[in-house]
Amino acid sequence: AMGLPVFAGGGGLAYMASPTGGYLVGFVLAAIVVGALAERGWSRNWLMTIIAMAIGTAFIFMFGVAWLANLIGMEKAIAGGLAPFIWGAVFKIGLAAAVLPLAWSLVDRRPGRAGQSEN
């Protein structure tokens, strides 16, 4: 992570057993799912982008809150590990849905794109 102390508090299985371990597992699974959806063209229009990213965010929260609830109880896990982050997640999904299709249109305009090979 470019020299940043990402795992400064420790690493390995002990780190994964911490309260944030479920979010890390959810993040990996979300990346796999959203990546698969993007490969199927879901990142090409704003509505499908919103749906794909909402699914990915749901994976992160689902695994994260479930793991946290195992440690501190469901009510506290929702109050501290879900509720404070909902509006931020909604904002980021909306921003990505607005920007990603525009980015794809710029990529598609590059020479050698639109079904043409550069060979």
Instruction: Give tens-digit pLDDT for 62-89.
Output: 999 999 999 999 999 999 999 999 999 9
DSSP codes of every residue in 87-99 = HHHHHHHHHHHHH
Q: Are 25 and 65 in contact (CB under 8 A)?
A: no
Instruction: Give tens-digit pLDDT for 12-41.
Output: 666 667 888 899 999 999 999 999 998 998
Supply the pTM of this predicted model: 0.76
Q: Distance (Å, rounded) from C-alpha 32 to C-alpha 57?
A: 12
**C-alpha 46: how far from its chain's center?**
16
